[in-house]
């Protein structure tokens, strides 16, 4: 039986990460969108074998490597529309519901592969 990860290879996926990261544009992101190119060992990705306290696998999504320990969810998005524009956000400030808009927190890693 084929693993779920191998079924997602060469397809567009959305990966949510455990921590925030900074993209090439200086913005903060919490998710990555792009084509799942490969799953690499630490030696393939970094050229060195890491110790037991480090992650030992990486997902190559578009032009980005994501440490396995940072991956929270991976969603197959092949053929789906991804919103990179402004998004609605609902929060609470001083006991009141506040509706605002902010830029998408999804990093488009396919953008990086177009430049390679």
3-class DSSP state of 8: helix
Spatial separation of the C-alpha atoms in residues 67 and 46, rounded to whole Å = 11
Would you give per-residue pLDDT tens digits along the chain (116 residues)? Answer: 457 777 888 999 999 999 999 998 899 999 999 999 999 988 888 787 888 777 788 899 999 999 998 999 999 998 888 888 888 889 899 999 999 998 899 999 987 554 44
pTM of full prediction above 0.85 = no
pLDDT score for 18: 94
The structural domain count of the chain equals: 1
Domain coverage including residue 22:
4-115
Residue of 66, 45, 69, 43 whose CA lies nearest to 55? 69
Residues 50, 67 contacting (CB under 8 angstroms): no
């Amino acid at each position: 039986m084929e693993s779920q990860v191998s079924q997602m290879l060469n397809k567009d996926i959305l990966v949510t990460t455990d921590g925030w990261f900074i993209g090439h544009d200086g913005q903060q992101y919490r998710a990555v969108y792009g084509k799942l190119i490969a799953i690499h060992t630490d030696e393939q990705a970094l050229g060195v074998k890491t110790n037991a306290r480090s992650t030992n696998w990486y997902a190559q999504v578009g032009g980005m490597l994501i440490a396995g320990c940072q991956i929270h969810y991976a969603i197959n998005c092949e053929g789906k529309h991804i919103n990179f524009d402004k998004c609605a956000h609902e929060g609470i400030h001083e006991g009141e519901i506040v509706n605002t808009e902010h830029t998408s927190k999804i990093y488009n890693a396919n953008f990086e592969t177009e430049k390679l």
